[in-house]
């Protein structure tokens, strides 16, 4: 097979995957090498498929160099949790691992997963084994495969929500790599000599050209930002029953400064299918991308570019061929918001759920706000489970009246009671960025809370504190906090400097547009104040900020990804 491949036309990663023997690489040797806290170069790529990234503490970078020391290498471990649901036992295990092997924090990601940061090479195996002990894993949380499948996180727990959550798990299982490398390397399961018995019925030996992301949503809530996903299924309900799904393809956020051929893109609705056809559609969309995606240029390899290069009609036709049947026409759907609805809600079954704002998705104990301790005690004593949302928040789900009281009391005891938040802060997302992300040009998670406080001062003067406005910041244009869908978006350009984007909408169906470049904090506030003042005085009834800035001509609507400019 390899003889027929012209490797010179493909990206280096293609050869690496092919030669990795179904994702084994030289990981075993790398882990055993006592000389360095790093793993071999090739293994830094292959290990992603196992759910981890080699990183270094960027705060210490200069000092380590000065002292002629190897960088402070450690690993990010990402745990795959389809639909974001975890049991108290799983929560407690992750909480303990954060303290024992990581940096004492748990990161709730924008894709309903956990991340541990700061795990050194010597503890990787132990940590993965402990994760596995509570029936969680990190397989395919990263890498050129289908990633964590997101699902609508409904605090009101309805039958439809449960159906979506189950479907997310089934799709995730179906699209998992089948290699036994993970079990061999991390869980000491018996080695298959040379791995020759392994095969990947869906992916093949080179896996996908690039990462692939999938989400489910239940209108009217777009809390999984379906327009940013490679593939999404939007539930169609009739009389509370899910009768089908609209199929959306080709969304994506990543882009690179100075490369106009890369851009964020909104998904296109292709048609609809029946609930029992979803897994088939998911598999075949992935196969079309596997077979036609660009394997020469990784910056241009996502499904969104395959679709733009060949056209949406070509894609639909090809998909129908792969399926052997045709999608039905699209059905009407309407979203009223993205993000999460915070606070307590009673479900159809009379049980209570609390959606808790977790700033930057970082669960920790800090300055008397001891959220990590509170959640540990809740997990240990309250009858409930947890749902990580796609907006870095957390739902403490399914408690009775007594449980609700206990949760409130425990949050209070640890100084972590939900406070009344501005409509801006409630709708804020910041990616990790510094100090762990190797791609960050600027701060995001560590800075956005302060910037929000400063914008809140303006909002207070304008009587806009309660107005919900979606604000998102990332430390680079890769878009991990989905900033291109925000009403106010910031992308880091350099330390302390950000591009400002305006005009995304509150329901997550419109890309924003560059308003001003390379702004300092002072400049950001100076730019935003007059626009917010205009908004306070001249908005139409119920008009959202993102719609207002377009109506008033502050920015022009970005109608398609290809028109997006940094």
Judged by the rule CB under 6 A, the positions of this chain that interact with ligand SRM are: 53, 55, 76, 78, 109-111, 113, 115, 147-148, 213, 228, 252-254, 302, 361, 392, 431-432, 436-439, 478-482
Report what 111 binds from ligand SRM, ligand SF4, none; CB cut-off 5-8 Å by kind.
ligand SRM
Q: Is the CA virtual torsion 11, 226, 77, 202 positive or negative?
A: negative
Which helix (H) or strand (E) covers residue 395, if one does? strand 394-399
How far is it, in rounded angstroms, from Cα 15 to Cα 252?
25
For the record, the structure tokens of 211 come out as 């990462």
> What is the rounded CA–CA span in Å between residue 539 and residue 440?
36
Q: Which one is catalytic: 206, 211, 284, 425?
A: 211
Nearer to ligand SF4, 498 or 506 (CB): 498
Give min distance, CB of 225 to ligand SRM, in A: 6
Q: How many residues does the chain have?
A: 566
Active-site option among 337, 431, 482, 493 = 431
Taking the complex as a whole, how short is the minimal distance between the CB of residue 387 and ligand SRM, in angstroms? 14
Cβ at position 478, least distance to ligand SRM in Å: 4
For the chain, the 3-state helix, strand and coil shares in percent, each to the nearest 5, are: 35, 20, 40
Strand partners, 328: 272
Question: Which residue, 76 or 231, has its beta carbon nearer to ligand SRM?
Answer: 76
Please pick, among 437, 472, 482, 510, the residue that the annotation labels catalytic: 437
Question: Could you count the other beta carbons within 10 Å of the beta carbon of residue 178?
Answer: 11
| CA-wise closest residue to 308 among 322, 294, 327 | 294
Element housing 65 (H / E): helix 61-66
Look at residue 213 and give the partner it binds from ligand SF4, ligand SRM, none, a contact being a CB closer than 5 to 8 Å depending on partner kind: ligand SRM
Q: Which of 394/440 has CB closer to ligand SF4? A: 440
Q: Which of 210, 384, 476, 510 is catalytic?
A: 476
Which partner, ligand SF4, ligand SRM, none, binds residue 476 by CB below 5 to 8 Å per kind? Answer: ligand SF4
Residue 161 binds: one of ligand SRM, ligand SF4, none (C-beta under 5 to 8 A by kind): none
- Max distance between CA atoms of the chain, in angstroms, equals 72
- Applying CB under 6 A, the residues found at the interface with ligand SF4 are 431-433, 437, 439-440, 444, 474-476, 478-480
Catalytic status, residue 78: yes
Q: What number of other Cβ atoms are within 10 A of residue 331's Cβ? A: 15
Partner that binds at residue 109, options ligand SRM, ligand SF4, none, CB closer than 5 to 8 Å by kind: ligand SRM
Contacts of 271 (CB under 8 A, 6+ apart): 246, 247, 316, 326, 327, 328, 329, 330
The nearest distance, CB 364 to ligand SRM, in angstroms, is 14
Q: What is the nearest approach in angstroms of ligand SF4 to the Cβ of residue 75?
A: 15
Q: Which is nearer to ligand SRM, 414 or 472 (CB)?
A: 472
- Residue written as tokens 């959202």? 544
Could you tell which of ligand SF4, ligand SRM, none binds residue 474, using a CB distance below 5 to 8 A set by kind?
ligand SF4
Distance CA 424, CA 492 (A): 19
What tokens appear for 305 in the block?
Answer: 């570019």
In whole angstroms, the minimum distance from the beta carbon of 224 to ligand SRM comes to 8
How far apart are CB 322 and ligand SRM at their closest, in Å?
A: 23
| C-alpha to C-alpha distances, 556 to 308, 513, 538, 562, nearest whole angstrom | 22, 7, 18, 14
Closest listed residue to residue 497, CA positions, set 469, 516, 478, 472? 516
Decide if 284 contacts 322 (C-beta within 8 A): yes
Q: Which of 213, 290, 304, 425 is catalytic?
A: 213
Handedness of CA 490, 443, 51, 135 (dihedral sign): negative
Q: How far apart are CA 178 and CA 167, in angstroms?
A: 19
Nearer to ligand SRM, 29 or 438 (CB): 438
- For this structure, is 213 an active site residue? yes
Question: CB 441 → ligand SF4: shortest distance, Å?
Answer: 7
Radius of gyration of the chain (CA): 23
Q: Which of ligand SRM, ligand SF4, none lies near 148, with the C-beta cut-off 5 to 8 A by kind?
A: ligand SRM
Q: Which does 110 bind (CB under 5 to 8 A by kind): ligand SRM, ligand SF4, none?
A: ligand SRM
Q: Residues 134, 138, 140, CA angle at the centre, nearest 5°?
A: 145
- Has 431 been annotated as catalytic? yes
User: Do residues 108 and 153 lie in contact, with contact meaning Cβ atoms separated by under 8 Å?
Assistant: no
Helix or strand run (H / E) with residue 128: helix 121-133
Q: Pick what 416 binds: ligand SRM, ligand SF4, none; C-beta below 5 to 8 Å, kind-dependent.
A: none
The span from the CA of 61 to the CA of 58, in Å, is 5
Q: Among residues 150 and 247, whose Cβ is nearest to ligand SRM?
A: 150
- Are 231 and 211 in contact by the 8 Å Cβ rule? The answer is no
Shortest distance, position 529 Cβ to ligand SF4, whole Å:
26
Q: What are the catalytic residues?
A: 78, 147, 211, 213, 431, 437, 476, 480
């Amino acid at each position: 097979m390899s003889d027929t491949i012209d490797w010179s036309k493909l990206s280096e990663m293609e050869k690496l995957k092919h030669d990795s023997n179904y994702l084994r690489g030289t990981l075993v040797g790398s882990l055993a090498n006592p000389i360095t806290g790093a793993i071999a170069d090739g293994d830094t790529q292959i290990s992603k498929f196992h759910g981890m990234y080699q990183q270094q503490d960027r705060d210490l970078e200069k000092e380590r160099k000065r002292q002629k020391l190897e960088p402070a290498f450690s690993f990010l471990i990402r745990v795959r949790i389809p639909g974001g649901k975890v049991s108290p036992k799983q929560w407690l295990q992750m909480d303990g691992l954060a303290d024992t092997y990581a940096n004492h924090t748990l990161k709730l990601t924008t894709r309903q997963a956990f991340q541990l940061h700061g795990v050194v090479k010597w503890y990787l195996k132990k940590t993965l084994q402990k994760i596995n002990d509570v029936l969680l894993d990190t397989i395919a949380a990263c890498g050129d495969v289908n990633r964590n499948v997101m699902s609508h996180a409904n605090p009101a727990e309805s039958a439809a929500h449960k159906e979506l959550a189950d479907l997310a798990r089934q799709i995730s299982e179906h699209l998992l790599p089948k290699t036994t490398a993970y079990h061999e390397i991390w869980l000491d399961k018996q080695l298959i000599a040379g791995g020759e018995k392994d095969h990947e019925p869906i992916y093949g030996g080179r896996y996908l050209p690039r990462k692939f992301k999938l989400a489910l949503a239940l209108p009217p809530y777009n809390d999984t930002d379906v327009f940013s996903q490679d593939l999404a299924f939007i539930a169609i309900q009739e009389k509370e029953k899910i009768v089908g799904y609209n199929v959306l393809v080709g969304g994506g956020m990543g882009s690179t400064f100075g490369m106009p051929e890369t851009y964020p893109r909104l998904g296109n609705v292709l048609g609809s299918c029946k609930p029992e056809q979803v897994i088939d559609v998911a598999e075949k969309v992935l196969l079309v991308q596997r077979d036609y995606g660009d394997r020469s240029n990784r910056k241009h390899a996502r499904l969104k570019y395959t679709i733009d290069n060949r056209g949406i009609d070509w894609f639909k036709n090809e998909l129908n061929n792969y399926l052997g049947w045709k999608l039905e026409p699209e059905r009407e759907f309407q979203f009223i918001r993205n993000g999460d609805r915070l606070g307590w809600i009673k479900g159809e079954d009379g049980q209570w759920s609390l959606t808790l704002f977790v700033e930057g998705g970082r669960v920790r104990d800090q300055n008397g706000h001891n959220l990590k301790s509170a959640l540990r005690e809740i997990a240990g004593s309250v009858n409930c489970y947890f749902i990580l949302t796609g907006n870095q928040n957390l739902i403490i789900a399914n408690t009775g009246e007594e449980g609700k009281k206990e949760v409130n009391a425990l949050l209070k005891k640890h100084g972590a009671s939900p406070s009344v938040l501005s409509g801006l802060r409630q709708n804020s997302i910041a990616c990790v960025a510094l100090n762990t992300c190797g791609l960050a040009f600027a701060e995001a998670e560590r800075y956005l809370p302060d910037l929000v406080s400063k914008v809140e001062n303006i909002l207070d003067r304008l009587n806009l504190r309660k107005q919900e406005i979606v604000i998102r910041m990332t430390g680079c244009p890769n878009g991990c906090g989905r900033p291109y869908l925000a009403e106010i978006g910031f992308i880091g350009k350099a330390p302390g400097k950000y591009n400002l984007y305006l005009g995304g909408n509150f329901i997550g169906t419109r890309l924003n547009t560059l308003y001003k470049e390379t702004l300092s904090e002072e400049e950001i506030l100076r730019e935003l104040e007059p626009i917010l003042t205009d908004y306070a005085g001249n908005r139409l009834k119920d008009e959202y900020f993102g719609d207002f800035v377009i109506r008033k001509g502050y920015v022009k609507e970005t109608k398609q990804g290809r028109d997006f400019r940094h």
